[in-house]
Structure 1
Amino acid sequence: MLFYRAALPLSRRTLTYLAGVIRRHRTSIGSTWRRLNPGQQALLVLVHLRKGETFAEVAAGFGVGAATAWRYVHEAVALLARRSPTLDQALRTAKRAGYAFVVLDGTLIPIDRVAADRPYYSGKHHHHGMNVQIVAAPDGTPLWTSGSLPGSVHDLTAARIWGIIRRLESAGLITLADKAYIGAGPRVLVPYKGRKKPASQKAANSAHAKLRGPGERANAVLKTWRILRKLRCCTLRAGQLIKAICVLQTRESG
């Protein structure tokens, strides 16, 4: 196997944060000596998540076994996911920040599945995946991510399953969303449907898209972490994984 030096497009602040999380966890459980120290484990985890390298590849690069790399990543992801804000906390943050609105959008995390796995097939995206709901600030900063549901679940159904619509109404926040959320309620503003719309509705849709567009870049920001471009792990871990990445992205952007 050949080895080479490579760069990771993340700040040292993010590495330091994750290393601190791991170090405190090791202290709390009385962990014995490990092959990699907290900083090295944090770097291994960031390489796997950001660059999407396989466990075998990162294990070889850090001089550990593939099973050890798997344990290190799963441990760190679980620790980060527990630090992800709840939806109520995220909405309180939005209100304190004085946002005029938040953006609700769904995304599909592609997974490695065959045609027989129909529950995971998204007719909208024509791909197998897991449906994840994201609430973002007007500038595209991710505020909260949901757990994961099979890709065949419609965005509006997913939003209702996670209680997003009800909590948005309780918080009194105006929400912008795409046409997938038509029928979500008076607080969720969506574009007008139809081909032959009057000029007023076309203008409203244009203004809606301009406001919603920056918020929807939250999906693109999270998918700069290449592990989300195609998951090859258990589908049930998709929600935990994106929550962990959201925590890291918040640190990276902060």
Structure 2
Amino acid sequence: MSARSPKLTTALRAARKDGLSHLILDGTLIRTDRVKADRPYFSVKHQCHGMNVQVIAAPNGRILWTSGAMPGKIHDLTAARIWGILRELQKTGILTLADKAYQGAEAAVVITPYKGRNKPAGQKQANRSHAKLRGPGEHANAQLKSWRILHRLRCSPAKAGHLVKAIAVLQNHRTAQATRG
């Protein structure tokens, strides 16, 4: 089933062809049952073992593409660089909204919110607008995690990426069936 999942370039070309106004890039941690000796899989941010998966979604929350799984300790921006996401987004030129984890991305098309506490009113408003546009795309991660098998993976971490891709294909099929019927 994961073989039906589109490649990154194919998904971005389809998004451009569909005329999407923007995309949403976000990373998520899929929790796993790992022993404490498996340090690469431990996410300090989440205080648990897991796998980092990058997700590109449409503005309506439809999952367009998911990456393979990387160890949980890898930062979202690093994972995006490793998978070549930023380079491909730059090539297609589609505006992409991302959270603060992607600040410092070299791609000019990746827009992140302003950081800091005491921001001027204009920056606060920009962050609110950014969050409203990015919000529906955040549902893509929630859709993935709604599948019970991803609540806590008990399989080999090497299989986690294929499993997430297969679930993304099934989720899109289920969503398409619901809109038709």
Please give the TM-score of this superposition, normalised by the length of structure 1: 0.68
Cα deviation per residue 1:132-169 (whole Å; 9 max; x = unaligned)?
00000001100000001000000000000000000000
Distance in 2 (alpha carbons) for counterparts of 1:210 and 1:225: 25
| CA–CA separation in structure 2 for the residues paired with 1:89 and 1:216 | 21
Counterpart for residue 63 of structure 2: 142
Match of 1:120 among 41, 54, 62: 41
What residue ranges of structure 1 are gaps of 5+ in the alignment?
1-79
With structure 2 as the length reference, what TM-score do the two structures score? 0.95
Corresponding residue of 2:117: 195
Aligned length: 175
* Paired residue secondary structure (2:24): strand
- Corresponding residue number in structure 1 for 2:130: 208
1:165 aligns with 2:67: no
Equivalence for 1:50: none
Offset at residue 115 of structure 1 (A): 2.1
- Partner residue, 1:66: none
Higher relative helix content: 1
Structure 2 residues without counterparts, runs of 5 or longer: 177-181
Runs of 4+ that moved beyond 2 A: none
Structure ranking higher in strand proportion: 2
| Structure of higher CA gyration radius | 1
* 1:1-254 equivalence runs, <5 A: 80-185=1-106, 186-254=108-176
Higher RCO (C-alpha 8 Å, min separation 6): 2
Q: Secondary structure at the match of 1:173?
A: coil
Paired letter, 1:207: S
Distance in 2 separating the partners of 1:124 and 1:189: 23
The separation in 1 between residues aligned to 2:41 and 2:134, in whole angstroms, is 27
Alpha-carbon RMSD across the aligned residues, in angstroms, is: 0.7
2:45 partner amino acid: K
Write the letter of the residue equivalent to 2:42. Y
* 1:97-135 CA distance string (max 9 Å, x none): 111100000000100012222110111211110000000
